[in-house]
Each structure stands twice: as C-alpha cells, then as structure tokens.
Amino acid sequence: MYYIGIMSGTSLDGIDLVLASFSPQPKLICSQLHPFPADLKQQLQQLCQCGDNEIELLGPTEQQLAYCYAEGVAALLAKAGIAASSVAVIGCHGQTIRHRPDSRYPFTMQIGDMHKLAMLCQIPVIADFRRKDMAYGGQGAPLVPAFHQAIFQKPSQQRAIVNIGGIANVTVLASNAQVTGFDTGPGNALLDNWIMLCHARPYDDNGWFSSQGQLLPELLSQLLADPYFFKPPPKSTGREYFNLQWLQQFQPEHYTAEDVQRTLCRLTAQSIADSLSKYKVEQLYVCGGGVHNPVLMQDLALLMPDCSVNQTNTLGVDADWVEAMAFAWLAWAYQHQVTGNLPEVTGASKACVLGVPYLP
C-alpha cells in the first residue's frame, strides 16, 4: 500500500506532498509542490500573529486549507498514475499557526479541517500529531528525529541531520549515544521576511540577496545573544517568535538591506553550528529549502570545518521531501502502532503512538 505525506511548514512557501511506501524500506514514489493561493497565504501569515477577530478568520481559512490540501493530493495521484483506493492513509501535519510549548499552559495549534480533507479525498487521514506528546509534558516538536533515526542512522558513524525550513531543527545520530534533536532557531523565516520587506520577493532565490551583502559582526553578536540560543534542549520555537518584530528590536534600518540579509544568513548557519559544537559530529546532512541557498550552505561548511556537509540526497532521500516523507511515515507508524516521538528529544514522559484518525 501507498502512503501520502502532506507538510506545509513555517516558511509558508507551499504544500509539500509525497507518495511513499514503507515495505520493506522507505521509498519515495512521487512528489508534488502545490502552491498556496495568494489570499490563503496572506490569511495564514495573519493567523501566525496575534490579531483581531482571529476566530472569524480561522474558520474559513481552515476550510480553504482543506480544499487546497485536497487539490494537492489529486495532483499528486494524477502525476503518479495511482488511484486513491491504493492509498492506505494520508499523514497531514496541518499548518502551524501558534506554538507555545513554554507558556503556563503549553499548547500548539495546527489547522486545516481534516474531516473535510478525508471526505474530499475519500482517503483516511491521520493528523494532530503533536498534541499527545505535549499532553505527556513534551515540546511537541521536533517530531522528525524519529523518522531520521529510522532511515538515516548508521551505528558506525557520527551523523547529524539538519532540516532548514522556516525554522531549523537538528537530529544528532551519534553512535553509542541516544538520539537527540531540537529546534536551533531561525532557518529561512527571517531571510524570507527581510527580502519580502525590502524587495517584495517571497524568498532569497539562490542566495541572490545574501551574496550581495557583507557580514555585520556586531549585529550578528546582538542577534546571537537572544536567550533562546542558550536554552538547553528539549526546546522548540516558531515564526511567532523569530519574525520581523523580533528583528526590529535590533534596528536593522541602520544598516544596508543586503548586509542585514547576509548577516541573517550567517545567523542561521552559526546557530546550527553552535548547537552541534558539543556533539562529535563527523557528517552533516542538510534537507529543507535551505539547501538551495548556496551562501547558507557555504557558511555551514565554513563553520564546521571538521565535518563533511552534504544534502540528504547522498543518503538516497531528496532534500526537498524529507519532512513530507516524515509525516507519511508517522501515518504508517500510527497504523502499525509504532511510537512516533522520542522522549529524549521532546521531553515527554513516555513514547507515544501519535496522531488522530479522520475517516471519509
């Protein structure tokens, strides 16, 4: 049987969909990037920040998102030439609009009407993966380390996997040690926000904007002084924290725009490298949208001279589709009653089977 994974991340650059199988090993069959309509993307961005009439906006946005997910599924199945009846289940992450794991009453919220998605696709959906981990005292994130362990770990090698989406997260797969993982801080989110503000472009294509600037060491030091970077794991964050409002406190208008972009690029790389400095990592494999920014990839290689830096493609999984594959795998794990969280990563008191079923 086939499994579909749907991931729309903090970068809001579109919906990643994969068709995969997991017998006997994970195999990517087909992939599809489905864009957000401009109005839906704007609504999602608005919901990621506190504002007026949030419930009135949330209701219709959830419905639109379900239709958009379903359109992506239809396009994926048509591309693969596979009937919906051949798909066992869809694993859908939903769209995170708020993640507050450290508040007095910790919560996380991923939206999208999953009943509507199951009905539209006529395929069962597994969703709501994060909240059970949080119910047992975990951060609810990151969840991909269990998948990284399942497909990337090699006992004889000291590996780390870093996913650079809107937020960056790492998984340390060290031999003779338990797996660990956490959000390191901003990935592409600040880079995307700044270039949108300065040039009305949704992202820094091929590192164009970053490559024009000069590093600002003083600004970088100020950015890296944020308390989040000094917190020990388990820890997780989101674009509700690392965003333009966060950046404005450092008065970026006092510098040239391209120098700020170059410095934000180094911030992402430096925070990843710093977070891995206490682990004996020999191989770093990168996935997510950050692999397409050559300035960012060069920074990682520069800051980690004793470590080989490559894309996950060299391990047989396309860097663009690792995270969507992870949610297809979590749906498979739910069906087979395999635990999907790692308590040593999230801080939960127990390993849990994650997800909630929605039937057509």
12 is in an annotated binding site: yes
112 is in an annotated binding site: no
DSSP 119-182: HHHTS-EEE--SHHHHHTT------HHHHHHHHH--TTS-EEEEEESSEEEEEEE-TTS--EEE
14 is in an annotated binding site: yes
- C-alpha pair distances (Å), 314 with each of 294, 300, 322: 17, 17, 13
9 is in an annotated binding site: yes
What residue type is 338 in one-letter code? Answer: V
Terminal Cα-to-Cα distance of the chain (whole angstroms): 18
Q: Quote the CA–CA distance of 295 and 292 in Å, as a whole number.
A: 9
133 is in an annotated binding site: no
349 is in an annotated binding site: no
11 is in an annotated binding site: yes
Backbone angles phi, psi at 287, to 5 degrees: -135, 175
192 is in an annotated binding site: no
Q: Quote the CA–CA distance of 13 and 266 in Å, as a whole number.
A: 21
What is the Cα 317 distance to its own chain's centre?
Answer: 16
Binding site residue list: 9-16
Binding site residue list for ATP: 9-16
